[in-house]
């Protein structure tokens, strides 16, 4: 037992020195995220957008996730569909079509995920529009390294204010089709309905 005491003392002393000498980082968490904030945005009857206030984030390293939306319209999902934008450091905005009946309420769920500093090179948020009579549409972004960047869907606003909702013409996909190009596509050509799709491109280091 007497021989163990000096050894234990050395271990405790070594741990104490490690703790004392380790730099203090107030933002450190055992994760790749500094913060996660989730909430809802309500787009009221008669409005085409709504906002939510979040604790201030660094917009250059904060991504959004669209966690779905609900509404009180039974004629089609165009009036409840919405896309997200990080408007500024404290504001998330949800927008829906200006070509739909706006007498219904939409509730959009979201999360804002702030990465730890140094993990992301860039985060770009925008929209791509598929015009009527087209099956795809492009948006231009600042050049990224396609081997380290990936796209995320942030919602959409399908211009389907009459005749119900068709998945063929209304549901779109997002692709990073080049270093400066994001492409939105839908299944079939439609002569009457536009589709605006929200996206973000996250580029790692």
Total number of domains constituting the chain = 1
48 phi and psi angles, rounded to 5 deg: -110, 0
At residue 28, does pLDDT exceed 50? no
Mean pLDDT score, 75-103: 78
- pTM (global) more than 0.95: no
Query: Would residue 81 count as lying in a domain?
Result: yes
For residue 18, tell me if it sits in a domain.
no
One-character DSSP codes across 30-45: SSSEEEEEEEEEEE-T
82 lies in some domain: yes
**Could you tell me if residue 157 is inside a domain?**
yes
| Residue partners of 17: CB distance under 8 A and separation at least 6 | none
Predicted pLDDT at 196:
87
Is 2 part of any domain? no
134: Cβ contacts below 8 Å, ≥ 6 apart: 189
- Dump pLDDT digits (tens) for 88-100: 999 999 998 765 5
**Other residues' Cβ atoms within 10 Å of the Cβ of residue 3:** 6
In a domain? residue 56: yes
For residue 195, count CB atoms less than 10 angstroms from its CB and return exposed for 0-12, middle for 13-18, buried for 19 or more. Answer: buried
Q: What is the pLDDT of residue 34?
A: 93
* DSSP state letters, 115-168: EPTTSEEEEEEEEEEE-TTEEEEEEE-----TTSEEEEEEEEEE---SS---HH
Contact by Cβ (8 Å): 143, 179 = yes
State the residue range of the domain holding 62.
31-204
Question: From start to end of 72-119, where are the E strands?
Answer: 83-88, 91-95, 106-115
Q: pLDDT per residue over 51-73, tens digit each?
A: 999 999 999 999 999 998 887 65
> Which one is predicted more confidently, 188 or 112?
112
Residue 7 falls inside a structural domain: no
């Amino acid at each position: 037992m007497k021989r163990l005491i000096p050894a234990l003392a050395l271990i405790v002393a070594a741990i104490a020195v490690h703790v004392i000498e380790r730099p203090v980082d107030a933002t450190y968490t055992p994760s790749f995220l500094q913060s996660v904030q989730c909430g809802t945005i309500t787009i009221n009857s008669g409005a085409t957008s709504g906002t939510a206030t979040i604790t201030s984030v660094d917009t250059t390293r904060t991504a959004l996730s669209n966690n779905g939306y609900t509404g009180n319209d039974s004629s089609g999902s165009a009036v409840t569909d919405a896309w997200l934008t990080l408007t500024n450091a404290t504001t998330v905005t949800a927008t829906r079509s200006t070509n739909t009946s706006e007498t219904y309420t939409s509730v959009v769920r979201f999360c804002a995920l702030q990465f730890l500093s140094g993990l992301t090179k860039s985060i770009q948020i925008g929209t791509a529009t598929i015009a009527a009579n087209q099956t795809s549409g492009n948006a231009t972004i600042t050049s990224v390294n396609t081997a380290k960047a990936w796209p995320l869907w942030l919602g959409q606003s399908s211009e389907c204010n009459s005749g119900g909702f068709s998945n063929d013409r209304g549901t779109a996909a997002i692709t990073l089709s080049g270093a400066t190009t994001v492409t939105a596509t839908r299944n079939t050509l439609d002569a009457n309905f536009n589709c605006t799709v929200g996206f973000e491109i996250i580029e790692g280091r």
